[in-house]
Structure 1
Amino acid sequence: MPTDETAGPAGRPHLPEDPSPGLVIFLNGTSSSGKSSIARALAAQLDDPCFHLPVDAFHAMRSQPELAPDRLPDVLRRTWLGYHRAVAGMAAAGNTVIVDHVLSEPWRLWDCVALFRPQDVVLVGVHCPLPELERRERARGDRPPGLAARQYTRVHAHGLYDLECDTGSTGPDECARTIKDFLSDRPTPTAFERLAALGPDAR
């Protein structure tokens, strides 16, 4: 008889049953739009444990060897691809995951649509007026000048959201409360379900 409660027949490990899928709260906006501030406020407000997985953290984990300029795009792309799969894995294990993302390249969105359970994603558009983005960018000093402006017309080009907020007029705590309230009565189909039905060739 095995003595370890996790052991199964013939001493083999007893694997846990597959959990119910978790929720992905997907914040999309330009650099400096306030996504991370909203994510931190939301994590503090949610009643159940959750994980804030910012893409910046994944970029920060990557080592920084000298690379030829022509190699960098592939390294960045593989970082994004791995990030998406890490989020999908955490959600598949039953966790609530708060994502802050920059959908400035269409393939990033469609990779996520293919990976995530569309009925379990809340897609939130995080908007901010360009002058305020530029002011924040200058104040931060850790972003290339003009980054937010270059992303401004691209990140929301897909045009579909479950919920939107404007951080130019609303603080992160209030945005987080709006998102939390929305979670209790989410309509269907979700934005991800509608995007999945359209397919990447629709836009």
Structure 2
Amino acid sequence: MREHSETEQGGPDADGLIVFLNGTSSSGKSSIARELLTLLDEPYFHLPVDAFHAMRSQPQLTPAEVDDTLKRTWRGFHRAVAGMAAAGNNVVVDHVLSEPWRLADCLALFPPHRVVLVGVHCSLEELERREAARGDRPAGLAARQISRVHAHGTYDVECDTSTATPLDCARRIARFLPERPAPTAFQRLRQQHAL
């Protein structure tokens, strides 16, 4: 059995690293994640929230039931990410922090010194162009999310996919990982939320 030692930041070194990509729908998070996995030397798992939504059956539900089901899906997704990291797996997560409770839930669950919070930005004009081209998102979804997704305002590293390619963004993140400063964005956000 592997022994656990304490890191300088105060947690067990068995925890995997969580590279947490936050941005609106169609901002390019999944494209960045795919490129990032090709650049990193250690094994990483890409855990996109869309994959969890895709696993769910699609029965007829009332609007209240839909809201409850979606919230339970997000909460389960957060716990799956936390479990993978607690087992020593490195993960790249793509997420949409468009509701304050989602951030609060992640702050409570994830070891804050092992999270790299990445802001994935994109211009509204480009988001709308991508949304129309994809055809698999409700019209105006990104526009509704854009003011809320980055409302917490704190990141370890940021990129803009309206001016940089997914590979450029992935390279920026990969260069940042070896020398992550402390406190991390998650540590600062936990202090702000008094967790």
TM-score, with length taken from structure 2? 0.93
* Paired residues of 1:25 and 1:123 also in contact (CA < 8 A): yes
How big is each residue's C-alpha offset from its partner over 1:103-134, in whole Å with a ceiling of 9 and x where there is no partner? 00000001000000000000000000000000
Q: Residue 126 of structure 2 aligns with which residue?
A: 132
Across the two proteins, how many residue pairs are aligned to each other?
186
Which runs of 5 or more structure 1 residues have no equivalent in the other structure? 1-15
Q: Residue 150 of structure 1 aligns with which residue?
A: 144
Q: Give the counterpart of 1:115 among 97, 101, 109.
A: 109
* RMSD of Structure 2 on Structure 1 (CA): 1.2
CA distance in 1, matches of 2:194, 2:137: 30
| Bigger radius of gyration among the two | 1
* Paired residues of 1:18 and 1:93 also in contact (CA < 8 A): no
Q: Residue 59 of structure 1 aligns with which residue?
A: 53
**Are residues 1:78 and 2:72 paired?**
yes
Structure 1 runs of 4+ off > 3 angstroms? Answer: 16-19
Q: Residue 103 of structure 1 aligns with which residue?
A: 97
TM-score, with length taken from structure 1? 0.89
Q: Residue 169 of structure 1 aligns with which residue?
A: 163
Q: Residue 32 of structure 2 aligns with which residue?
A: 38
What is the CA distance between 1:18 and its match in structure 2? 6.5
What is the CA distance between 1:17 and its match in structure 2? 3.9
**Are residues 1:178 and 2:178 paired?**
no
How big is each residue's C-alpha offset from its partner over 1:46-78, in whole Å with a ceiling of 9 and x where there is no partner? 111110000000000001111122211000000
Q: Residue 22 of structure 1 aligns with which residue?
A: 16
What is the CA distance between 1:44 and its match in structure 2? 1.1
Which runs of 5 or more structure 2 residues have no equivalent in the other structure? 5-13
**Are residues 1:190 and 2:184 paired?**
yes
